[in-house]
Structure 1
Amino acid sequence: MRTLEGVVRPYAWGSRTAIASLRGKAVPSPHPEAELWFGAHPAGPAICLPTDGVPDTDLLSAIDADRVGMLGEHTVEAFDGRLPFLMKVLAAEEPLSLQAHPSSEQAREGFDRENAQGLPFDAADRNYRDPWHKPELIVAITDFEALAGFRDPQTTVELLRDLQVSELDPYLGMLAGQPDSEGLRALFTTWLTLPDASIATLVPAVLGGAVDLLGAGSSRFAAELRTVLELGEVYPRDPGVLASLLLNRIHLEPGDGLYLPAGNLHAYLHGTGVEIMANSDNVLRGGLTPKHIDVPELLRVLDFTPAAVEDITPPIRMVGAERVYLTPAPEFRLSRVELDGTGLVYASSICFDMPGPQILAVLSGSVEVRSMGGVVTTVPAGQAVWIGDAEPDVVVHAASSRAVFFRARVPVGTGS
C-alpha cells in the first residue's frame, strides 16, 4: 500500500483554481492545470511517496518490479502486464477538442499501419501511439457541460430550421431528406471538408442566426445556441463549430456520469470531474483544436448511430456507501464513496476485499486506510492510495467530518 502523488498536466484549456484547490496549493496556480493523473501511464506515472524506509519511486516502476504481486495474475494475463486504466481529475475551464477514440480492432490496425509507414511515435501527425482502445467514463464533481453522441436527426433538423439561416438550406436538406445515420455521416463529412472560404461564410451566418434566435426569446435549443456562440468566438473558422450542432448538449450534476465508447464523437466544455479510461493515448480529432486532424481516419472510426443521452449514461448500483458506475469496459470499474466521520448520516467506514489492483483518490476531506496486516495510511484530499493485488484487505475510515473518494479497480468476473 503506497500513497500516491498525482501528476499535473498543464494543458491550455485547464483551470487555475480547481486542481490547485484540491491539492491545497496556492490559488490561482501559475499556469492552467488541466488534469491530475493517478496511474501508471508512461507519459506521467504517479509518484509513490516514501514510507517506512521504502524510498519514493513511480507507480509504473513499482508495478514493473512485481507485476503479479501488484496487478494479480488475471490482470497480467488479460492486459499484457499493464495497469489497464488511467484515473484522472479533469478540470476544463475552456472547451476540449472535438474527438473520438477507436475500437480495439481499429487501434491495432492503425498502430500497425503507422508503424509500417515508419512514423515516429512522437510525430505530430501520428494518430495511433499504441494498439489499444480508449473507452472512458467521466463523473462530474461540479456542474459539468459536454457535447457527446449524435443527436436524433429529426431534432437536429428542427434546430437547423429554427435558425432560419439561408446559407444552411443546402445542408438542412441533406439531413431532412435522410434523417438517419447515413444522413448524419453525409452532412458531417461535407462540413468537415468544406473549403476555408465556405467555412468563413457559413460559420458567421450560423452565429448570427443563433444571436437572433436567442434574442427573440425562449428557445428549447437555448443551451445549444449558447454553446455554438461560445465555440464560434474561440474558433471562428473551424468546421467543428458547425459539427457541434449535430451533438447532444449535456449537463451533468455532481455525481452524474457519462460513458463514451469507441466511435463516440464528444467534447468536454466546462467543469471538473473524475475521469477513468483504458490506458491509451489514441485520439482522433475533428475540430476545435490547432492539433492534427485526420478527417479520413476520423470518419473511419466514428459511429454515426444517433444516441440519446440515456444511452450513454451509465447505470448505477449502490453497494452500501459505494456508488458504482457500471460500464462494459473490461479495463476499469469506477465508484464514488462518501463517508461521514460522525456516523450520523452516512457510514463512517467501508471494507474492500475485491482482488486486483485498486486506486483510491481522495477528493474531499481525508481518509484513514487500515490494512488487515496492520498498516495504517492517512490520505488527504488531492492524493490517492495504491493497493496491490497481493496486499491484505483494507478498511477505509473517514478521518474528517465528511470524506469523499473515488475507487478505481479492474473488474474481475461477471458483475464485479
Structure 2
Amino acid sequence: MSAKLRTPLIDVESTPAAAPLAILVICALLVLMQLYLAIPLSPILSEDLAAGDAAVALGTVYSLAYGLGFVIFGPLSDRFGRKAVLVPGMAALAVATAALSLAPSVGVVAGLRAAQGLLASSFAAVALAYVGEALPRRWRSTGVGAVATAFLVAGIVGQVYAQVVAHALGWRWVFGLAAPAFALCAIGLHVVLIQPPLDRPPARLAQRYRELAALARQPRLGLVYAASCTVLLSFVAMYATLGPLLQTRFGLDHGEVLLVRLAGLPGMVLSPLAGWLVGRFGATRVSVMGFVVAAASLFFEAVTAASLWSLVLGSAVFVAGIAAVVPAMITLIASRAGPARGGALGLSGLALFIGASVGPLAPDLPIGFSGLLVCLASLLLLGAALITLSSRGGEGSMPCAP
C-alpha cells in the first residue's frame, strides 16, 4: 500500500456520515444473520442430505472459523486500513455463500461454512473500527449503537429469514438469495466508504499480531474482555432454554415460540440510544447499568416462570439491557485501545463468541429453568463488577476513539 494511501488528505469531520453508516448497518445485519440461520436449517439439511451431523456442518464449524477470524482480520485492518479489508472480505463472502447453495453433500457444506465463517469475521470488528475513525466525531457513538443494533437484531431476523425461505423455496435458496446481497454490499462499501488515515506509522504485520497479546494483558482491557464473555453467553443460553420451556410448559408451537422471540425486538431499540447515553453518562456507567438491568430481568423471569406474559415481558427487558451493554462496551474498548482498536475489537468479538459458543450447552444443565436464570443473572452481575473494577482511575479515553 502506498504512503499516499496510508495518509490521505481527508477531513473526516466534513465527510458525509449517513450513507456510510447506512451501508455498514445493512452489511452488519446480513453478515450476522448467517451466524444464526443454522438453528432452523439444521433439521431441514439433515433430512435433505440424509446427514445426522448437519448441525455440526452448519453451526459448529462456522462458529469456530468465525471466532478465529476475529484475531486475524483486526490486526490486518490495523496494518492495511479498514476499507482494504472490508471490501475484498465482503466480495469473497459473496462467492463462498453462492457456492453453498450448490453444495452436493454435508461434507462440502461443512467446508464451505468454515470458509464462510472465516470471511464473515472480516466485517464486524473492522466495521466498528471504521466507525471510530472515518465518521465525524459527533456521529461515532450513534454509529456504534446502530451497528451493534444490527448485530443483535440479526440473531432473531436470521432465524426467521432462514425458516421462511427454507420452507417456501428450499434450504439452498437461503444461501442463493444471500449471495447477490453480499455482492451488492461489496459494491456499496467500495463506492461509499472512504479510506480513513492510519493514525500511527506503518509497522510489520507480525508486530500487529504481537500487539494482541499485549492488549489482552492490559488489566483495563482484559477485565472488559472477561465481562464480554458473559453477554452473549446469557443471551444465547436464555433463548436456548426458553424455547423448549414454552413448548413443554405452555404448549406453544414453533410459530408461537418465534413470536415470543420477536417480542425482544422492541428492546433492541435501546442500542442506538446507547450512544447518546454514553455521551451523557460515560461508557462505564452505561455498561454497568445494562448489566444490572439484564440481570434483574433474569431474576424476575426466574421468580415468575409460571406466567407466560411475565416471561415475555422479562425477556424483552433482558434484551434491552443487553442492547445497552454491547455498544457501550465497544466504545469502552475502542477508547482504551487507541490506534490498535482493530485488534482490540477483534479480541472483544472473540470473547463475545466464546460466550455464545457455551450458551447452547445451557439446556443440558440439571438445574431447571429458574436455576439457570439465577446463575446467568449472577454472571451478569459479575460482568458489571469487572467493568467497574477495570475503570478505576477514570475512563482513560484515548484520541480518535468513537
Bin for the TM-score computed over the shorter chain? under 0.3
- Pair member with larger Rg: 1
Higher RCO (C-alpha 8 Å, min separation 6): 2
- Normalising to structure 2: TM-score of the pair? 0.25
**Structure with higher strand content:** 1
